[in-house]
Amino acid sequence: MTADRSNPRTSRHGVWQKPFARALALTAGLCMPLSGCASLDVTHINSSSKKPNNVWVFFTVEKGDEPVAGLTADDFEIYEDDKLVSKFESKQVIQNPDVAAVMYTLLLLDMSGSITESGEQDTLVDSAMLFSEQVGKTQKVGVYAFDGDEKIHSVVPFSESQGSVDGGLEGLRSYKAKDPSTNLNGAVIQGLEVLEKELEKDKRPLKFGTLVVFSDGTDRAARVTRQDMLDEMDKTNYDNYEIYAIGVGAEIEESELKTLGRDGYELVEEKDDDNVRLAFQKVADRIERHMKRFYLLSYCTPARKGDHEVTIVADSKNDPKGKGELEYQFSADKFGPPPECDPERKPDFRLDVATEDQAKKKGRGGGGKAKASASASAEVGSE
């Protein structure tokens, strides 16, 4: 069924939620000292500074529930201690986020008896192929299957080759479940663990995972409790992960699907082939759009000593009301050339320093318990 995007908070289907904490993001209607009334959410993710005088800031820009893509370096103003930094002096640029961030998507497919014995495998495989082709253009996609067994089954290892993805998915057309029950709760936990393990293999410092779960029913195997699944989803390990759910058929309850798909879900009440494909496409569209919200701003600070408060103002020229800002602090002790600062230099983010946004982040899962990581400065420091 088609979701009502006019009110994404309350629409019956396709309820999309924001994936990151909004600790420093500025929401519509909130007035700030530099940018006036803001309508963009500018959310700080990580930052770093290093001699001679490089500064990097990684953040997202969104408007409501939609990403703001295509901003250039000229769309951002940098203030240090409330004073505008000259764009000529700072040599500010937008770097490709890929130099610092890696993004993987794991597609987790229900292959329990209700799927394999009902002749629905072809529709599921076709939908999964279209999904992986679209998402696989910009990131690695892995596919796993689950039934009533204790373990999930690898179908397609994480790969950038669409041919290998299609080949692996073809094998699902004749898949026979060894255990026809549905170990949904356990599969979600294992899917998150696999996604985290695969992301850790990449050397880039910032890691973002997406788990997409397809199922036509609720957990029947009772190997893992629903609360254990929700507790796993609530772990800080997965704060920068998105979880989407696609549910098909009358057996699956919308309330449970909404909890599982904490960042969005699609419910197809009748097992219609076109609607199933459309549900997969909608989630793929959402993932593709949200990748475009990431920005890596790099500049050369004129500061040479001391602690400084920085405000970055985003001003979308395509929307006169599109403004938002974020704030953070850094130390410029012992800064200054030589050598000359190169704004195209790759960032040096450290993962053992929590940003202020992450420190204030609250749990989004169904466990209902707010959580926050240890407070720490957003500044990485210079060496």
- Please tell me the distance from the alpha carbon of residue 291 to that of residue 287, in angstroms, as a whole number: 6
Domain presence at residue 83: no
Which residues, other chains included, contact 83 with Cβ-Cβ below 8 Å and sequence gap of 6+?
A: none
167-174: list long-range contacts, CB under 8 Å, 24+ apart.
168/143, 169/125, 169/128, 169/129, 169/132, 169/143, 170/125, 172/109, 172/111, 172/121, 172/124, 172/125, 172/128, 172/145, 173/121, 173/122, 173/125, 174/121
Q: For residue 286, what pLDDT is reported?
A: 93
CB atoms within 10 A of CB 292: 16
Model pLDDT for residues 115-172, shown as the tens digit of each residue: 988 888 999 999 999 999 999 988 999 999 999 999 999 999 997 667 778 888 999 9
State pTM to two decimals: 0.80
The domain of 254 spans: 101-291
In a domain, 69, yes or no: no
- 191 in a domain, yes or no? yes
The helix or strand, by DSSP H or E, that contains position 357, with its residue range, turns out to be: helix 356-359
169 within domain boundaries: yes
Q: What is the pLDDT of residues 352-363, one digit of tens each?
A: 544 444 444 434
- Is residue 40, in this structure, part of any structural domain at all? no
Domain at 250, CATH number: 3.40.50.410
Q: Is 359 left (phi over 0), alpha (psi -120 to 50) or beta?
A: alpha
pLDDT at residue 291 greater than cutoff 80:
yes
Give per-residue pLDDT as tens, 106-123: 999 999 998 988 888 999
Q: Is residue 93 part of a domain?
A: no
Q: What is the pLDDT of residues 29-63, one digit of tens each?
A: 334 444 444 589 999 999 999 999 999 999 999 99
Please return the burial class of 1, using the count of CB atoms within 10 Å of its CB with bins 0-12, 13-18 and 19+: middle
Q: Tell me whether residue 357 is in a domain.
A: no
Q: Report the SS3 class of residue 38.
A: strand
Is the pLDDT confidence value at 21 over 70?
no
The whole-number pLDDT of residue 9 equals: 30
In a domain, 274, yes or no: yes
Structural domain tally of the chain? 1
**Assign residue 132 a region: left if phi > 0, alpha if psi is -120 to 50, beta otherwise?**
alpha
